C-alpha cells in the first residue's frame, strides 16, 4: 500500500469510529487532536491547513450551524457610503476568535458560542471609495511577547489591524483596548512621508504580518488613475513602540527617474503590496506579493520601475533589506499583479527536504521556489510572446512559465470554443471572440481591443493556494473567464462627454500616458461568459509529481442568472466566478465558500467529489478557518458570510460543527 493509501485507510478507520463508535447521527463524541488558528491562514506560512480530524468525509454531511454572530457593520451603499464586503478570516487567540469588519471595527467573540467579548472601534472616516471598490478588511494579525512575564502585562499580547483610514493600530488581545505605548494612542499614521494622495488612493485592506518583533505591511494603491500614483512602499514597525524600523521602496538599483516630490520620502508610482504577506521567523524573512508599477496597461511611461512589479519579494524582517525577488510577469501590461499570499511548506525532492514557497498567479501558474534563495526548485521555462502592442510601448519578448506544475489555466480561446445556452447566443460569442485579438494570455493591449484570458481577476486571486502536508496535495480555486482590454487614444478620451466608469464596464484615465483604458467582460447577450465552462473550478495538484489530480467545477450560476437559465440541465456543472480561499483538514476535507452563489461547500481531498453543500444568507467570499479547543471540544469551521462587489452585503460570521453529543 502506498503512503497515501495507508494514510487514507487510517483516516477512514478513525472516521468510521467517529461516526459509529462515539455516537450516532444525533451526536458525535469529541475526538481527534486539538487545533489552533493563530494567523490569517492558520500559520505564518499560509498553508490553510488544520490537523483537526473530527469532521471527516463520512460525517461532514451532518454539519449544522453552531452559532452565528452579526456585527451590524453592513451597508448596501444606498446611504451615500460605499457598500461593504465582509471578507475577514478570524484568528484564534486562546478560546477567542478575533476579526475585523468592513468598518474596521475589531471584534472578539467566544470561539465556541459566538458570544461577544469585546469590540474596538477606530471610528472609520474614509467611507466613500471609487468604483469598483467596496469597504473591506480581510483580517488582523496577532503577536505575543516571548517572555511569560511580558505576556502577562497589558498589551503583552497584541492584535494589529490596518485600516481604510491608512492607520496601523495595536490593541490588547485580551481587552480590546488600544495599546497606548504604540505610536500615538495605539495608532500609527501610514500616510507619513506619502504626499499628494487622495484618501481613496492609498489605504489598507489586508492584514499586517508579524515577524519576530516587527509588524510589516504594504497598502492598496488605486489603479490606473495616474502615472505618479502614491508610492507602494512596504514598511516595518516596532511591535511595541510603533516606531518605523525600516522601509522598502520598490526602486531598482540604477533608477534614473524623477526623485520623490518635495517633502515625500518615497518615489511615486512604485509597485505596491496590497495582498496578504507571509513570514518565516527562523529565517527572519517576510514574503511580499507585489502589484504593478503605475499604470497597469501601458508600461513605456514607468521610467524603469518594473523590476519589482508582479513579483514575490523576500525582505529581511529585522532590516527590510531585499534578500531576493522572483518576477512572475515581466513588463506587466495586463494587471496580472501577484494577488496570492506566498505559501510556505516543506517540499521533498529526491529524499531532501527543501524549505519551499508556492507562489500562485492570476495566470493560473504556480511557481515552487526555494524560500531561502528565491530560485525555482524545479527550474522554469521561458516562452516567447508577442511584443507588437500600441505605438510607443516597450514589452518583454519572453515570459516565465513554471515547468513542474503545468499552467492550470488554458491559453487557447477560439471562436469554436465559444459557450452558449442556445445556438444564437453561442454564435454571438463566437463573433465576439473573432472580433478581438487573442494570441494567448500575454496578448498586448491594442486600440482595437485584445482579449485577456484569464481576465485580470484571475486565474488565482487573493484566495491563494491550500497545502495538505500529509497528502502532499495543493488545492486552489480559480476562475476561467475572458475580458477585453481596449486602449483609447488620449485625444479621443478627452473628447468623451461621459467619462464615468462602473464595474465591470470600466473606463480608466491613466493620466500621464498617451492612452486611457476601457475594460469589459466578454459576455453573451444572456449575460453568461463567452469562454467555455467551468467558469470556476477547484483544482488539486500532487506536489510529488506536479500533476493535476482532479479539476472540478466550483459553484453554479444560481443567484446570478435569471431563473429559467439556472434550471437548464447541467447548470450546476458550469462553475461560477469566485473570490476567497479554501482550507484543508487532516481528515481529508476541503472547505470553501468563495462563489457567486450562496453556498458553502466541502470536497473530498482525494477524489474531488463534492460531499457537502450548505445554503447561506449571503455569499461567503472569504477564506474559512477551523479549530478545536481542548480534549472535550468540537471542531468548528467558521466563515464570514458578507457578500462581495457582485453580491448583496451581509455581516454574518457563521460557525459550523457536528451535533454535540
Q: How far is CA 176 from CA 137, 209, 367, in A?
A: 17, 19, 39
Residue 443: DSSP 8-state: P
Tell me the torsion sign for CA atoms 48, 50, 51, 57. Answer: negative
Helix (H, G, I), strand (E, B) or coil at 120: strand
CB 610 within 8 A of CB 590: no
CB 597 within 8 A of CB 613: no
Residue 573: DSSP 8-state: G
C-alpha grid cell, residue 327: 518576477
N-terminal to C-terminal alpha carbon distance within the chain: 35
Core vs surface per residue 609-643: b (16+ CB within 10 A) or e: ebbbebebbbbbbbbbbbbbbeeebbbbbbbbbbb
Q: How far is CA 153 from CA 144, 145, 156, 172, 182, in A?
A: 11, 10, 5, 10, 15
Helix (H) or strand (E) holding 11: helix 3-20
Active site amino acids: 335
Q: Which residues pair with 484 in a beta bridge?
A: 451, 520
Smallest CA-to-CA distance from 186 within 239, 224, 226, 222 is with 239
C-alpha grid cell, residue 481: 473567464
- Give the whole-angstrom CA distance, residue 592 versus residue 584: 9
550 φ, ψ (degrees, to nearest 5): -155, 160
C-alpha grid cell, residue 575: 462553475
Q: How far is CA 651 from CA 93, 466, 620, 642, 647, in A?
A: 21, 25, 10, 5, 13
Q: Who's near 491: CB < 8 A, 6+ residues apart?
A: none
Beta strand segments in 398-547, E: 398-402, 450-452, 465-468, 473-479, 483-489, 506-508, 515-521, 536-542
Helix (H) or strand (E) holding 435: helix 423-435
489 φ, ψ (degrees, to nearest 5): -55, 145
Helix (H, G, I), strand (E, B) or coil at 312: strand
Distance, C-alpha 141 to centroid of its chain: 16
- Write out 588-635 in H/E/C secondary structure: CEEEECCECCCEEEEEECCCCCEEEEEECCCCCCCCCEEEECCCCCCE
What strand order describes the sheet that includes 187-189? Answer: 141-144, 157-162, 167-172, 187-189
How many CB atoms are located within 10 Å of the residue 401 CB?
Answer: 17
C-alpha grid cell, residue 451: 482579449
Distance, C-alpha 540 to centroid of its chain: 18
CB 137 within 8 A of CB 102: yes
Helix (H) or strand (E) holding 426: helix 423-435
- Give the whole-angstrom CA distance, residue 648 versus residue 642: 8
Amino acid at each position: 500500500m502506498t503512503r497515501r493509501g495507508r494514510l487514507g485507510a487510517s483516516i477512514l478507520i478513525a472516521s468510521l469510529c467517529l461516526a459509529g463508535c462515539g455516537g450516532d447521527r444525533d451526536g458525535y463524541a469529541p475526538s481527534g487532536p486539538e487545533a489552533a488558528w493563530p494567523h490569517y491562514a492558520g500559520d505564518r506560512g499560509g498553508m490553510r491547513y488544520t490537523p483537526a480530524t473530527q469532521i471527516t468525509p463520512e460525517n461532514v454531511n451532518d454539519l449544522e450551524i453552531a452559532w452565528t454572530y452579526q456585527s451590524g457593520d453592513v451597508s448596501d451603499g444606498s446611504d451615500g457610503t460605499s457598500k461593504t464586503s465582509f471578507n475577514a478570516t478570524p484568528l484564534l487567540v486562546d478560546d477567542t476568535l478575533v476579526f475585523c469588519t468592513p468598518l474596521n471595527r475589531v471584534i472578539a467573540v467566544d470561539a465556541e458560542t459566538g458570544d461577544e467579548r469585546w469590540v474596538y472601534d477606530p471610528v472609520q472616516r474614509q467611507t466613500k471609495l471609487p468604483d469598483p471598490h467596496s469597504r473591506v478588511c480581510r483580517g488582523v494579525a496577532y503577536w505575543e511577547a516571548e517572555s511569560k512575564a511580558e505576556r502577562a502585562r497589558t498589551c503583552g499580547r497584541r492584535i494589529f489591524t490596518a485600516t481604510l483610514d491608512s492607520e496601523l493600530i495595536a490593541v490588547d488581545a485580551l481587552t480590546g483596548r488600544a495599546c497606548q505605548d504604540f505610536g500615538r494612542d495605539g495608532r500609527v499614521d501610514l500616510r507619513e512621508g506619502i504626499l499628494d494622495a487622495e484618501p481613496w488612493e492609498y489605504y489598507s485592506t489586508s492584514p499586517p504580518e508579524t515577524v519576530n518583533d516587527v509588524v510589516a505591511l504594504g497598502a492598496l494603491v488605486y489603479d490606473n488613475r495616474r502615472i505618479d500614483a502614491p508610492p507602494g512602499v512596504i514598511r516595518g514597525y516596532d511591535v511595541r513602540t510603533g516606531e518605523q524600523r525600516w522601509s522598502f521602496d520598490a526602486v531598482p538599483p540604477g533608477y534614473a527617474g524623477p526623485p520623490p516630490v518635495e517633502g515625500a520620502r518615497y518615489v511615486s508610482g512604485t509597485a505596491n503590496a496590497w495582498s496578504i504577506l507571509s513570514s518565516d521567523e527562523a529565517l527572519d524573512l517576510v514574503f511580499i506579493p507585489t502589484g504593478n508599477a503605475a499604470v497597469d496597461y501601458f508600461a513605456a511611461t514607468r521610467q524603469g520601475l518594473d523590476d519589482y512589479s508582479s513579483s514575490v519579494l523576500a525582505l529581511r524582517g529585522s532590516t527590510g533589506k531585499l534578500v531576493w525577488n522572483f518576477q512572475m510577469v515581466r513588463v506587466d501590461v495586463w494587471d496580472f499583479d501577484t494577488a496570492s499570499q506566498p505559501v510556505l511548506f516543506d517540499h521533498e525532492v529526491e529524499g531532501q527536504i527543501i524549505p519551499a514557497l508556492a507562489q500562485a498567479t492570476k495566470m493560473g501558474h504556480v511557481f515552487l521556489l526555494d524560500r531561502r534563495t528565491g530560485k525555482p526548485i524545479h527550474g522554469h521555462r521561458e516562452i516567447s510572446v508577442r511584443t507588437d502592442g500600441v505605438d510607443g510601448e516597450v514589452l518583454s519578448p519572453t515570459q516565465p512559465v513554471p515547468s513542474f506544475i503545468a499552467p492550470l489555466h488554458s491559453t487557447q480561446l477560439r471562436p469554436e470554443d465559444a459557450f452558449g445556452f442556445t445556438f444564437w447566443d453561442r454564435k454571438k460569442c463566437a463573433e465576439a471572440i473573432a472580433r478581438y485579438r487573442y494570441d494567448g494570455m500575454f496578448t498586448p493591449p491594442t486600440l482595437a481591443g485584445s482579449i485577456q484570458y484569464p481576465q485580470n481577476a484571475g486565474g488565482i486571486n487573493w484566495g491563494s493556494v491550500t497545502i495538505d502536508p500529509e497528502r502532499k496535495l495543493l488545492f486552489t480555486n480559480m476562475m476561467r473567464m475572458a475580458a477585453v482590454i481596449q486602449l483609447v487614444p488620449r485625444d479621443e478620451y478627452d473628447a468623451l462627454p461621459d467619462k464615468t466608469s462602473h464595474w465591470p464596464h470600466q473606463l480608466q484615465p491613466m493620466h500621464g500616458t498617451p492612452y486611457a483604458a476601457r475594460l469589459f467582460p466578454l459576455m453573451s447577450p444572456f449575460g453568461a461568459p463567452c469562454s467555455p465552462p467551468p467558469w470556476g473550478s477547484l483544482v488539486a495538484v500532487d506536489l510529488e509529481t506536479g500533476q493535476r489530480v482532479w479539476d472540478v467545477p466550483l459553484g453554479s450560476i444560481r443567484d446570478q442568472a435569471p431563473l429559467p437559465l439556472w434550471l437548464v440541465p447541467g447548470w450546476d456543472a458550469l462553475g461560477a466566478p469566485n473570490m476567497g480561499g479554501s482550507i484543508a483538514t487532516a481528515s481529508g476535507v476541503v472547505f470553501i465558500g468563495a462563489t457567486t452563489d450562496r453556498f458553502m461547500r466541502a470536497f473530498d481531498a482525494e477524489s474531488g467529489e463534492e460531499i457537502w453543500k450548505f445554503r447561506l444568507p449571503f455569499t461567503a467570499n472569504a477564506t474559512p478557518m477551523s479549530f478545536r479547543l481542548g480534549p472535550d471540544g468540537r471542531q468548528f469551521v467558521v466563515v464570514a458570510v458578507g457578500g462581495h462587489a457582485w453580491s448583496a452585503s451581509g455581516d454574518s460570521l457563521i460557525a459550523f460543527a457536528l451535533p454535540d453529543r
